[in-house]
Chain A
Amino acid sequence: MENILNIFFFADRLPQWIQSWGLKYGVDMACMCSVPNFFTLILHFLIGSFIVWLISTNKELIKDKFFGLLLVGIVFSGLSKFFDWYMNMRSATGTDVYFNYSLDVLVEGLQFIGIGILFYAILTKLFYVHHASSNH
């Protein structure tokens, strides 16, 4: 098993040009923090734009609360990701790790509210019960 797992630690066996290519990026901020947050921001932007496009092309959808809630949830969640990415950026471009408790609480709070709104919108859409009319 040790031999199998050692296969994955191949950095020293790589050609020199790949090693220097990787090392020029400096400290790892591309893997676990910044790039995922940056990509998540792009995904939020894509989904938000798609909802705006849907609503603008089909005016009847404005009356449907579901799409409005989805958009609000995406905005909250996207803002959370932006502030998270901002903290990553300050660490990568500064001389020490940037961490602000107030900003971190804001990130978590916005994410929590965003997910709450999205869950509310999706779950009410999925489990909405049509009440029986009074004619029965």
Chain B
Amino acid sequence: MQRNIFLKVVLGIGIWFVLVMLFGVWEYNILKAEMGIVPNLVAALGPHKSGAVSYMVQMLHWTAVSLILGLVWSKILFPKRPLMERIMFSLVFGVFVMPISFLIPYITITITTVFSTIIGIAPPEFVGKTLNNLVMMLVGNKEQVYEVANVFGAFVLGAIILAIKSIFKRNSSAIAGVRQ
């Protein structure tokens, strides 16, 4: 049972990434857009403060944050799985959570545009406005703000669910102890 949940969750995240890559990249050519926007941002910001060392610290920091986040959520979803599987889940889950809030509108307008094209109608008005919001987010270099907020929000949510779950578990085991 536990194994099935683990595989389903990881498979679900994999399907989500395939959807984002296939539909999103194909429809809006977002990689080309980033190739246009990122050089300007890199030039404007200048090199990383301490070069590769600072960059590695950033990588390690995100790894640690993703591991903590993933371990909290894996404790909720499949608490009996081995630590190795939970660590592997954590890294996948971290990459899933970081951009989730702007990938939801992104994939929504992409699917809407694709279906509008197939049906042969003009895309609804919200598509253009949402696309504008996404471009503004990229130009304003606010992806990192969303990533921090998403990971922090998911961690708080996970911690609350885990706390509620452990309280219910403690109460039910106490009731079972009284009955015995």
A118 smallest CB distance to B (angstroms): 16
Known: A8-B104, A39-B91. A14 touches B98 (CB 8 A): no
B102-140 CB contact bits vs A (8 Å, 1 = yes)? 101100110000000000000011100110010001100
Known contacts being A19-B145, A93-B48, is A46 close to B87, with CB within 8 Å? yes
Q: Is the CB of B105 within 8 A of A8?
A: yes
Expressed in whole angstroms, the Cα–Cα distance for A24 and B63 within the complex equals 17
Q: Is the CB of B35 within 8 A of A97?
A: yes
Q: Which residues of A contact B88 (CB under 8 A)?
A: 43, 46
* B140-170 at interface with A (beta carbon < 8 Å): 141-149, 152
Distance (whole angstroms) from the CB of B93 to the closest CB of chain A:
10
Q: Do A22 and B42 have beta carbons less than 8 Å apart? A: no
Closest to A38 in B: B59
Give A93 to B104 CA distance when docked, in angstroms: 30
Instruction: Give B41-68 as 1s and 0s: 1 = Cβ < 8 Å from A's Cβ atoms.
Output: 1110111100110110011001100100
Cβ-defined contact, A97 with B66, below 8 A: no
Q: Pick out which of these stretches binds chain B: A27-35, A55-63, A105-113.
A: A27-35
Q: A54 near B: Cβ within 8 Å?
A: no
Most buried by A among B34, B38, B130: B38
Kindly identify which residue among A5, A6, A10, A30 contacts B62, using a CB–CB cutoff of 8 Å: A30
B13 an interface residue at 8 Å Cβ cutoff? no
Instruction: Name the one of B52, B99, B129 contacting A93, with C-beta atoms under 8 angstroms.
Output: B52
Tell me how many residues of A have a C-beta within 8 Å of chain B.
39
Contact call B98/A93, Cβ cutoff below 8 A: no
Q: How far in angstroms is the closest Cβ of chain B from A21?
A: 5
Selected contact of A2 from candidates B35, B58, B92, B125, CB within 8 Å: B125
**Hey, which chain B residues are within 8 Å of A14, CB to CB?**
145, 149
Q: For the complex, give the distance between the alpha carbons of A14 and B66 in Å.
A: 21
- Judge whether B177 is part of the interface by a CB distance below 8 angstroms: no
Chain B residues contacting A94 (CB-CB under 8 Å) are: 42, 47
Q: Is A103 an interface residue (CB 8 A)?
A: no
Closest beta carbon of chain B to A4's beta carbon, Å: 9
Whether, in the assembled complex, B95 has its beta carbon less than 8 Å from a beta carbon of chain A, the answer is: yes
Known: A6-B133, A27-B41, A27-B42. Contact between A42 and B99, CB under 8 A? no
CB–CB B101/A10 < 8 A: yes
B residues bordering A, Cβ < 8 Å?
34-35, 38-39, 41-43, 45-48, 51-52, 54-55, 58-59, 62-63, 66, 84, 87-88, 91-92, 94-95, 98-99, 101-102, 104-105, 108-109, 124-126, 129-130, 133, 137-138, 141-149, 152
Q: Can you pick out 14 interface pairs between chain A and chain B where the beta carbons lie within 8 Å of each other?
A: A8-B101, A9-B105, A9-B137, A22-B148, A23-B141, A23-B145, A26-B48, A28-B41, A30-B62, A35-B95, A39-B66, A39-B92, A93-B54, A95-B47
List 9 additional contacts besides A6-B133, A28-B41, A93-B48; criterion CB under 8 Å: A11-B149, A14-B149, A18-B148, A21-B148, A23-B145, A42-B63, A46-B87, A95-B46, A96-B39
